[in-house]
Every structure is written in C-alpha cells, then in structure tokens.
Amino acid sequence: MKLVFATNNAHKLREVAQVVGEEFELVSLKECGITEDIPENEPTLEANALAKARYIHSRTGLNCFADDTGLEVDALGGEPGVRSARYATDGHDDEANKRLLLERMQGEENRAAQFRTALVLIMDGKEYLFEGVVRGRILCAECGEGGFGYDPLFAPEGEERSFAQMSADEKNAISHRGRAVRKLAEFLNK
C-alpha cells in the first residue's frame, strides 16, 4: 500500500519506514512533487499534524499521514513543546535549539521531560489520530553522535544513554514516534 508521509526529513522517513515495515511504500513530499514548506502555525501538536495531513491530502488525493513532535520539559512549563523545531529561530536550526534548551536548563534540578508525537492518518477520506509519548530527562550536555534534533540531550526513562547513543532499532523500540507509528501500523494491518 502506498502512503504519503508528510516529510522531507530523511532521518524521520527512515525511522518511520523501519517501524511500518515493507508492506507499505512510504512516499515523501518531494516524491509527490510538493516542495514548499507546509505551515505549522497551529497551537497544538495534534492540530499541526491534522493541518499538514489535510494539506497533503488536498494536493495529492492519496492516503497520507503527518506527524508533529514536541519535546515538553517540565521545569520549562512544557517548552519548547509545539515550537520544538523553531525554539531558537524561525528556521529549523537544531544546534541553536539545543543551545537555547541547555541555557534555559542551566542549574535546574528538575530535568524531567517527555517527547510526544501526534500522528494523523487520512485514509479513504477518514481522519485518525495516534499518539506516542516517552518520558525521560534532559541531560546537562550533549551525548552521542546519532539521531537528530534534541536526541543528544534526551535520555529516556530506564536508560543512561541518550537517544543519540542508541542504534536506530533501539531508539525505535521505545521512542515517541516509534510508539505512534506502531499504533498506526497496527491500525493499517487490521
């Protein structure tokens, strides 16, 4: 089955394809001829995912899904949250975002945080919402070379390693996006 995934992020596409499995052909935005940035102006992760999925569906008419993910830090009142990708700047600047997070967390004892993914599927004209959450903590410094975004700063519960220190398979087994995508895959396989 062909599904359009509302991303051009190669890391994200690879992560999701590993979880969804070979029975689904994931197609990126670029492969559908969509090269413009899709606005993410909504106040919640769920609303952003829904807006992106509707945009893709209206442009392609194909079954599709979109996600939005946020890092929610307890000591920062849930920041960066829905603005995670644009925390430090209006662009997607991972390095600036990580620096700002470390700066705001300096001296903070409560390091608790969670990654949360909202994923919306539009299939045969119907909309479905799936969510994945993983609790953990913000590290005091970057650890690891893998992953992307805030991965070097986030250690999931029960782990000493950051997401960036894990293999893709290890991360997918416990990550927020992996959990949301597994719910999507279970739904699709029914």
Instruction: Judge whether 154 and 176 are in contact, CB under 8 Å.
Output: no
For residue 98, give Cα distances in angstroms to 1, 53, 86, 101, 102.
37, 28, 11, 5, 6
pLDDT value of residue 155:
98
Integer angstrom CA distances of residue 131 from 115, 141, 155, 184: 11, 28, 20, 9
What's residue 64's pLDDT? 96
The pTM for the full model equals 0.90
Taking only Cα atoms into account, the Rg of the chain, rounded to an integer number of angstroms, comes to 16
Asked if 159 and 136 touch (Cβ cutoff 8 Å), the reply is yes
**Distance between CA atoms of residues 32 and 44, nearest Å:** 26
Give the pLDDT confidence score for residue 24 in this predicted structure.
Answer: 82
Of 37, 67, 68, 124, catalytic: 68
Q: How many residues does the chain have?
A: 190
Taken in order 110, 88, 158, 77, is the CA torsion positive or negative? positive
Other Cβ atoms less than 10 A from the Cβ of 102: the count is 15
Query: DSSP labels for 150-180?
Result: TGGGEEETT-SS-GGGS-HHHHHHH-HHHHH
Instruction: Catalogue the E-assigned strands of the chain.
Output: 2-5, 25-27, 64-73, 80-81, 112-123, 126-138, 154-156
> Is 169 annotated as catalytic?
no
Question: What per-residue confidence (pLDDT) applies to 40?
Answer: 85
Query: What is the mean pLDDT, run by run of 10 residues, along the chain of 190 residues?
Result: 87 80 87 88 96 95 94 98 92 92 97 98 97 98 92 97 94 90 89
